[in-house]
Structure 1
Amino acid sequence: MAPAVYDGTTSSLSEASAQALLQSFSMIIVSEIGDKTFLIAAILAMRHPRLIVFAGAFGSLVVMSMLSAAMGHLLPTLIPRRWTQVAASILFLVFGTKMLLEARAMKAGNEKIQEEMKEAQEEIEDDEAEHEGADDVPLEEMEAGHSPTVQKTTSKSKPKTSFRDGARNFCSLLLGPVFVQAFILTFLGEWGDRSQIATIALGAAHNVYLVTIGTVVGHGCCTALAVIGGRYVSTKISVKHVTLGGAILFLIFGIVYLYEAYMMGADMEMSIPT
């Protein structure tokens, strides 16, 4: 993949735009398929209407993509662009090396994705247990005599509703509890994830709008695949091969950005009058 640096010509601009879109899209695909947020959407889609789950999860990822790309866009205003390219290169090389080691340590089976599936299931159950009321006690438990304890509504024992819970209840009233659950679980699962940090790096190296479009389209494809048949797909794909492909892609990104930073330094030296 040859680096594309905009030098003022139309062909160079088109090449740089295509590179930004392709890198953003491919980075999301190799990072998100089989990821925890992918499995969260798949599990929720088996319990609730798929369209609502897709809207909540995809809406969360759109917001995350815009925030991450904007954060990356601000970096060149604080740090010289050459050094942002170097930082992006180091970041992708580290991620690529880490993914390569993870792929080598994985077995041929899908034990890794089973662990991710279990974690996603636990997060959904914890979220539902935290926000369900006493009326949601299963009928079997009621018949067995395990009725919920009725608390006295005194001034000391009355629970206080936090601002976060109040905001969630208000959004649930407007948008529906399933939409809000998919949005929040996806946002929390994606925050600080490898794909978010990589989006920040791409936003610093390329046009912020193109990076946003590429990541949004990538997230849209992954989320649609998750809600349509994510659980089936997760049992058929090889996480080892996906991780290995992602490692190679990230290493290529790192080499490309390192070369671009080197070329920027060479151009700066040539432009300095002797």
Structure 2
Amino acid sequence: MGLSLIEGFTKSLAMTVLSEIGDKTFFAAAILAMRHPRNLVLSGCLTALIVMTILSASLGWAAPNLISRRWSHHLTTVLFFGFGLWSLWEGFTEEGEAEELKEVEAKLNADWKAETGSKKGDSKVRDDLKKHQRPFLTQFFSPVFLKAFSITFFGEWGDKSQIATIGLASDENPFGVVLGGIVGQAFCTTAAVLGGKSLASQISEKMVALSSGVLFIIFGLLSFLSVTGGES
């Protein structure tokens, strides 16, 4: 099995871009950037994604130490095939409408209305109270940064791309996987923040799902062939 830095980097980069484009966190970053300073949204979302990538790759790196590398490799192969078929099924069965965009937008709109509504009436008194009752972290970080970070971090937790990163790091060079993941996340998040909702709404979810499905199937075949080639 290849453990080269370049191979891990290229696989992780391709997987991250196809997994994150059109994802819920991508839409969330685009919508948040329309309502808050872009630099805070970008830094919050990107920090969460970098932390998630490092955590996922660390779990993947530790997996062969918990179970045999042979079994972790077989599990990774099954995951790639499973995610590939899952993505292809989503691509063929969905209409291509931006359902995730609508879902994320509705949720953020509800949060936005709640925030703006809470600011009406006795604003000066409430601001004074908030300064005293403000959580510890917000003394050092902007609330916008924390909101972007939390939405992105918990949105990615347990997502297909996170599990795929764990599997990829158990089978490839973990440093290459982390580097490729970070570069891919930076590209997608920057595109979402700068492009805004207009870019997000023009993305074909069907094409993204089909492309990621084909990519996962290719990864699964390469993983499978590396085992059969090593055994022959």
**Residues 234-245 of structure 1: pairs in structure 2 closer than 5 A:** 234-245=200-211
- Are 1:82 and 1:265, in contact at CA under 8 Å, matched by a contact in 2? no
Tell me which moved more, 58-67 or 205-214: 205-214
Which of residues 23, 27, 35 in structure 2 aligns to 1:39?
27
- Report what 1:74 is aligned to: 62
Deviation track 1:39-68 (CA, whole Å, cap 9, x = no partner) reads 000000000111110000000000000000
What is the TM-score normalised by the length of structure 2? 0.88
Larger RCO (alpha carbons 8 Å, 6+ apart): 2
Contact preservation (8 Å) 2:34, 2:196:
no
8 Å contact from structure 1 (residues 172, 179) kept in 2: no
Deviations 1:57-109 (A, max 9, x none): 000000000000000011000111121111111001011001111111123xx
In the other structure, the counterpart of 2:15 is: 27
Q: Secondary structure at the residue paired with 1:175? A: coil
Choose the corresponding residue for 2:197, options 220, 224, 231: 231
Question: Which amino acid in 1 is paired with 2:210?
Answer: L
User: Aligned partners of 2:51, 2:137: CA distance in 1, in Å?
Assistant: 16
Deviations 1:148-188 (A, max 9, x none): xxxxxxxxxxxxxxxxxx8x822222111000000000001
Within 2, Cα distance between the matches of 1:53 and 1:28? 20
Native 8 Å contact 2:8 2:174 kept in 1: no
Q: Name the CA distance, whole Å, in 2 between partners of 1:241 and 1:75.
A: 32
* Separation of aligned partners in 2, 1:234 and 1:97: 24
Bigger share in helix = 2
Which of 53, 59, 80 is residue 47 of structure 2 equivalent to?
59
Question: 1:242 Cα deviation (Å)?
Answer: 1.3
One of 156, 167, 190 as aligned partner of 1:201:
167
Compare CA radii of gyration and give the structure with the larger one. 1
Q: Which runs of 5+ in 2 are unaligned?
A: 123-132
Check 1:134–1:97 CA distance in 2 against 1; reply closer, same or farther (3 A cut): closer
- Matched to 1:189, the amino acid is G
SS of 1:169 mapped into structure 2: coil
Give the aligned partner of residue 121 of structure 1. Answer: 105
- In the aligned structure 2, how far is the partner of 1:219 from the partner of 1:74? 23
Percent of pairs with identical residues: 41
RMSD: 2.1
Rounded to whole Å, the distance in 2 between the matches of 1:43 and 1:204 is 34
2:101 and 2:201 in contact (8 A); partners too: no
Q: Which ranges of structure 1 fall in alignment gaps of 5 or more residues? A: 7-15, 148-165, 267-274
